[in-house]
Structure 1
Amino acid sequence: MTRTPHDNFAKDFLEELLSPLGKVEISREVTDEARQIDVLFSPSSTPTLPPESIGLLAKLVTQTSSIEIFRNQPNLFQVLMCANKLYSYFAELNRQAKRENVSLDVESLGRLLIISTTVSQDLLDTFGATINPAIDCSGVYSFPKGWFGSIIAINKLPVTKETLWLRILGKGQIQRRAVDELLALPNTSEHKENTLRLIANWRIITIKQTNLIEEDQEIVMNLSTAYVEWEQKTLEQGRQEGEKRLIIRQINKRFDVIPDALVEQIHQLSIEQLELLSEAFLDFSTITDLEQWLENRT
């Protein structure tokens, strides 16, 4: 790297002043280990679901976001490392911009979002984090402007529908209540089915571990009700798929091949309707009987 006259002077000057007090290394190369951002999110201009479906979280990620998640409160060094990963990402974008000879808008590069189950006032004070005025929600704190980020204290979030998807990442009673709220949502709610599947998988992986620590046991307990509902739903779906395959195979056997449109109608039937069709099918003489039966059920 080319050294400017000012650069030469400043480094030599500080070496002169500091050498009597200790070791001075000029232009010391620093090799950093590879670090992984937990979640790097870049918003789409055409989302496939309305952002409000994930409540508060959508308001926090309106631009590219480096998201770091903590099951326990991060310490000072961990927060610094989170920021370091974001700034390393900024440096990567800057190198790319130089190669392409384009300018960067620093404000739009991205933001750091730390999500933690708990955050002490001491940690907030250490980094000068205060309530985010743009969000105006307890538990959502902004770092000073140059930090380009926020920290979320899940334990301080209000219990509302908007915060549900963040509170699922909480601990203890906070997480248990969030899971109960998730189960109370209509089955047609966006994200409910997939979240139940992910929760069930989390519980399965946790319970397979040997020598579960107290925190692992708490997770298993918190997720149990969600796991039971997922298991029952999965069994019901398996039974329903089995019923569909059986009835379609029986119809094909009697009437050779049935039209795709009728197959699609059969796939739309509930488990109760499939059972009724299995009984009614015994009296069918032609494919027209099946068509009429399906028409009467839609």
Structure 2
Amino acid sequence: MTQKFYSLFVEHYLEGLLSPLGSVEVSGVITGSERRGIVLFFPKGTIQTERHSLGLLAKVAQSDCSIEVYCEQIGKTEVRSCLHKLLNVFSTLNYRASAEGKTLDDNLPRLWIVVPSASEDLLNGFGAQLELENWSTGIYFLPNVFRIAIVAINQLPVTSETLWLRLLGRGAIQKQAVSELVALPAENIIRRNVLEMVYRWRISVMTQTELTRDDQELIMNLTQAYEEARAQAVQEGVQLERRQVVENLLRFRFSSVDEELARVVDNLLQLTPEEFTPLCLELSREDLLARFNSHQ
């Protein structure tokens, strides 16, 4: 995959989701050779992760951290590179603390490496272990001295808690997450924001000519989310308009739509305009109530 396009999406996506919770810094200029999207996050206060709508992502971001997202499986070389960068961060933090007469405690930032999948050989090689008493399957922690965790998206349970991380997956996993995103209530603020991010990102990417097959797959999966949500909104708009027509016809006949008449509106909406219009205009109130109350 052309990582430039994927990395830009990851950065915009994570920045949009995490900004309300704290300070977000993205990696800056992305070159064609880079293979990930990088985000640094610093929470502005305690995050109530148990009930937060971002689920597992909020739990990941409950303390200072760095998040690196890869679009393909990685090997030991990439993990060593991540470790090297993280140790440099620790060195910088230690220098700053010393200059201020402070000592670093054990609450150092953690690096979360997010990958579509992780091989058993990779995990065993770094001594990565599950911590099922506190975390779900798919979250592997290296020995704590390294402050690194690997998130294997394909192993995450398919729940609302993991949705926002599974959207960064590949193939069928991402498609499933997209379907769950679209199925969220239209008034869900995160759903609305993510769809808007997808729309803006898609517009910027579609102007590019050097797209690989993987790029096109990512665009297709995310475009599905936008188009399905848009179609849903259009359908909801049509239904709302028809409801207003029916209610206006009833008001024209009976001056107002009281509780009894309101109960027959949904039944009238099951009919075509050609069917419900004469019923609203010709039937008496008693006949209208009797006809549709019999279908309750």
Which TM-score applies when normalising by structure 2? 0.63
| Equivalent AA in structure 2 for residue 117 of structure 1 | P
> Does 2:94 correspond to 1:97?
no
Q: Is the CA contact 1:200–1:230 (under 8 Å) kept in the aligned structure 2?
A: no
Listed one character per residue, the Cα deviations across residues 154-210 of structure 1 (whole Å, up to 9, x for unaligned) are: 011111111100000001010011011000001222311111111223333333221
Partner secondary structure for residue 38 of structure 1: strand
Deviation at 1:84, TM superposition (A): 1.9
Counterpart for residue 220 of structure 1: 219
Distance 1:45 1:211, change over 3 A: closer
Q: Against the structure 1 CA distance between its residues 140 and 123, is the aligned structure 2 distance closer, same or farther, given a 3 Å change threshold?
A: same
1:227-266 matched pairs, under 5 angstroms: 227-229=226-228
- Asked whether the equivalents of residues 167 and 178 of structure 1 are also in contact (C-alpha less than 8 Å), the reply is yes
**In the alignment, is the contact (CA less than 8 A) between 1:59 and 1:135 conserved in 2?**
no
What letter corresponds to residue 163 of structure 1 in structure 2?
T
- Superposed displacement of residue 132, structure 1: 2.2
For residues 139 and 50 of structure 1, what CA distance do their matches in structure 2 show? Answer: 18
SS at match of 1:42: strand
Q: Distance in 2 between matches of 1:197 and 1:220?
A: 14
Q: Which amino acid in 2 is paired with 1:181?
A: E
- 2:255 match: none
Structure 1 pair 55/47, CA: closer, same or farther in 2 (3 Å)? Answer: closer
Percentage identity across paired residues of the two chains:
41
Partner AA of 1:147 in structure 2: F
Using the alignment, how far apart are the partners of 2:204 and 2:133 within structure 1?
Answer: 38
Match of 2:39 in 1: 39
> Hey, what does 1:185 align to over in structure 2?
184
Matches within 5 A, 1:1-298: 38-45=38-45, 52-105=52-105, 107-229=106-228
1:201 is paired with a residue whose SS is helix
Residue 229 (structure 1) shift: 4.3
Max Rg structure: 1
Tell me how far apart the structure 2 counterparts of residues 108 and 169 of structure 1 sit (CA, whole Å). 27
Structure 2: runs of 5+ lacking an equivalent: 1-26, 29-36, 249-296
Name the amino acid aligned to 2:113: I
Letter in 2 for 1:85: K
Q: Do the aligned partners of 2:182 and 2:229 also contact (CA within 8 Å) in 1?
A: no
From the superposition, tell whether residues 119 and 202 of structure 1 become closer, same or farther in structure 2 (CA, over 3 Å): farther
Distance 1:51 1:60 in 2: 14
In the alignment, residue 93 of structure 2 is paired with which amino acid?
L
TM-aligned CA distance change 1:211 to 1:110, over 3 Å: closer
Cα contact 2:46–2:62 (8 A) shared by 1: no
Query: Which whole-Å CA distance do the structure 2 matches of 1:211 and 1:110 have between them?
Result: 37
Q: Distance in 2 between matches of 1:48 and 1:198?
A: 25
How far apart are residue 71 of structure 1 and its match?
0.6
Secondary structure of 2:67's aligned partner: strand
Rounded Cα–Cα distance in structure 2 between residues aligned with 1:148 and 1:122: 20
Deviations 1:44-72 (A, max 9, x none): 22669986211112222321111111011
* Amino acid corresponding to residue 88 of structure 1 in structure 2: N
Q: 1:125, 1:46 → 2: CA distance?
A: 33
Name which structure has the greater RCO, CA cutoff 8 Å, separation 6+: 2
The one-letter code matched in structure 2 to 1:146 is V
Over residues 200-242 of structure 1, what are the superposed CA-to-partner deviations in whole Å (9 max), with x where a residue is unaligned? 2333333322143110121122122212146568999xx9xxx
Q: Aligned partner of 1:74: which letter?
A: I
Q: Which residue identity lines up with residue 103 of structure 1 in the other structure?
A: T
Q: Distance in 2 between matches of 1:54 and 1:46?
A: 14
Change (3 A) 1:91 1:173: same
**Offset of residue 74 of structure 1:** 2.1
Amino acid at match of 1:67: I
Q: How much has 1:133 moved relative to structure 2? A: 3.5
Shift of 1:124: 0.8
